[in-house]
Amino acid sequence: MQNTSIQFKKQVTIKLADTRLQDALSRLQSRFVEGRSAVISEIHDLQETRTAAAAIRDRVINNLEHWLVHFEQQATARGAIVHWAETGADVNRIVAGIAAQHGVKTAAKSKSMVSEECGLNDALELAGVKVMETDLGEYILQLAHEAPSHIVAPVVHKNKEEISDLFAEKHHLSRKTGIAELCREAREVLRPAFLNADMGISGANFLVAETGSALIVTNEGNGRLVTTLPRVHVAITGIEKVVPTLEDVTTLLRLLPRSATGQSITNYVSVLTGKKNAEDHDGPVHFHIILLDNGRSSLVGSEMQEMLRCIRCGACMNHCPVYQNIGGHAYGWVYPGPMGSILTPLLGGIEKSPDLPNASTFCGACAAVCPVKIPLPDLLRKLREKQLQRGMKSWQETFPLKVWAWLALHPSIYAMATRIGVRLMRMMGGKEKLLHTLPGASGWTEGRDFPAPSGKTFRELYKRGEGQ
């Protein structure tokens, strides 16, 4: 997937004016925010569980090489073949090589954000392999030639009417409007892909070091079909996804579905261990696992290491007021929302996505809901500091900050300036007590009114007892 995050501001303007998108994004609140709230309370020791989950992830990341080698040993002992990929291009080369080795012509694919990171589908098509996305949302996007806009609900930006039109156009069938009818139509198209595929491709939510297993959680049966029916199965995931034991996985699974989709547990939890044996009724004859670095190892031991805890639940973006208004495509790469505002600069280069670290209100909602306690606002702040250190900030941004810093070091002048400022803003607010435009902050006031202050500074109000 091409990184277009350099165009973030332009895309934001377009997305904010897209009324159909705004209507579609409203579903985030009821489906994901309220859904999470309803089931997360089932965990009575929630904060302790979050702390334990963060500790599990830190235990691995602090000794990542050890756990990866241990995983490789166990997976190999059970008949899997483990490949190491430094870049997305390496993943594409390895998968194309596996396809050529086994005479693969068709591949059925389960949802995988890492494969989007690599641009795998396009690479396989160039190698002569026809790829069919089998997750319903990803299948819709494949028909529409679009990228996912959410890591869990990739087609959240589309409404039912758009999907009805798309199916009628691509399937050459009568237009259907019922959700059940549309799902059935998709199922009838996809079923032959499962039965005829030479290779199945999936991601992996976790890699279990003690058993050499790849684990995936899904709500559609496609994950099971893709990983058991084809004679070749390829699982692709990032190196940070390894977990020491199955018991550790159970802790993480208490949090992942509740944070992602508002479910106590997903419909399918598949633990994929080794290749098919003589006594097995299903499973792949050849099982390949590809571990992708793509910049992840450079974060180990750095001040940004905590980002590697991420279990890709999407809770941070569901609760982010920025994402809720612009959707995922504006971010320009695979990972949107607060997590993407950090991962994209880290994995793709901060110079290529200069606006993303600033795409946050710092309200803290993302950190409050993160199941593994990633301090997302702190990491965003560190990226902003890096930009400042590298001279990536414009004078329009740095000059006001320098003025404020100078005023803060001169308390008497600061007090006088704030007294003048709040009185002027009170006058500008007029009878409505609202500022419709604010010099130097047009980006804020173009889409919202700014409440005018009372005309008194905090110190003045506090002295009168009004600030207590």
Q: Which DSSP string do the residues of 238-253 spell out, in sequence order? A: EGGGEES-HHHHHHHH
Single out the residue of 382, 400, 386, 379 nearest to residue 443, CA to CA: 400
Range 440-462 average pLDDT: 83
Class of domain 42-297: alpha beta
Are residues 255 and 49 in contact, defined by beta-carbon separation less than 8 angstroms?
yes
- pLDDT per residue over 147-201, tens digit each? 999 999 999 999 999 999 999 999 999 999 999 999 999 999 999 999 999 999 9
Split at pLDDT 50, 70, 90, the class of 29 is confident
This model's pTM is above 0.75: yes
126: Cα within 13 Å, side-chain hemisphere: 10
- pLDDT per residue over 396-439, tens digit each? 888 888 998 999 999 999 999 999 999 999 999 888 999 888 87
Place of tokens 């080369």: 93
For residue 302, what is the enclosing H or E element? Answer: none
Residue 468 pLDDT greater than 70, yes or no: no
Q: Region of 300 please: left (phi>0), alpha (psi -120 to 50) or beta.
A: beta
- pLDDT per residue over 210-252, tens digit each? 999 999 999 999 999 999 999 999 999 999 999 999 999 999 9
Are residues 5 and 346 in contact, defined by beta-carbon separation less than 8 angstroms?
no
Single out the residue of 162, 150, 146, 227 nearest to residue 194, CA to CA: 227
d(CA 406, CA 363): 26
In one-letter notation, the amino acid at residue 120 is L
How is the chain split into domains, by residue range?
Answer: 42-297, 395-463
- pLDDT per residue over 361-390, tens digit each? 999 999 999 999 999 999 999 999 999 999
Residue 466 pLDDT greater than 70, yes or no: no
φ, ψ of residue 199 to 5 degrees: the values are: -140, 140
Tokens encoding 259: 């944070």
